[in-house]
Structure 1
Amino acid sequence: MTPAQIESYVDATSAALGLRLRPDHRPGVVRFFGLAAEFAALVEAVPLSPHDELAVNFTPVTPREKEA
C-alpha cells in the first residue's frame, strides 16, 4: 500500500467504526498500520502449496518472574 492509501484506509475505517482519532494519535496509528501492512505483504509473498503443513498451535503462557 502507498502512504496515501494507508492514510485513506485509516480514515475510512475509523469513520466506519465510529472511532475518533485524536489529531496527535493519528500519525502513530497510520505508522503502525503501515508497518502491519508491510508484515502482511511479507507473509503473503511466501508461496504455499496444498501439501504445505499447518504450523503447530501457539499457546501463550504467563511470563515467569526472573528466578534468583
Structure 2
Amino acid sequence: MPNEAANQEQTFLMDLLKAIYQNQEIYPLLQHNLSKLNDNLALMLRKWVSVDASACRQTSLCSRTCQGY
C-alpha cells in the first residue's frame, strides 16, 4: 500500500509539473488532489530538486542556471 500511495503522489507531481510547463490551469488539478498535498510530496520534491541540482553542477551546460543550489 505505501508504494501505491508513493506512485500516486509521483504521478500527481509529474502531472502538476507538466501542466505548469504547458501553461495549463493548475488549480483544478490541485483541488482534485488535495489529499496528495502533504509532507511526503514536499519531501519528494526536495529530493528531486537536490538530485537535479547535483547533476546540474556536474555539467558545464547549465552552470549559470544552477548558481545558488
Pairwise TM-score range, normalised by the shorter structure: 0.3 to 0.5
Tell which structure's C-alpha radius of gyration is larger: 1
Q: Which has the higher helix share?
A: 2
* TM-score, structure 2 as length reference: 0.40
Higher relative contact order (CA 8 A, sep 6+): 1
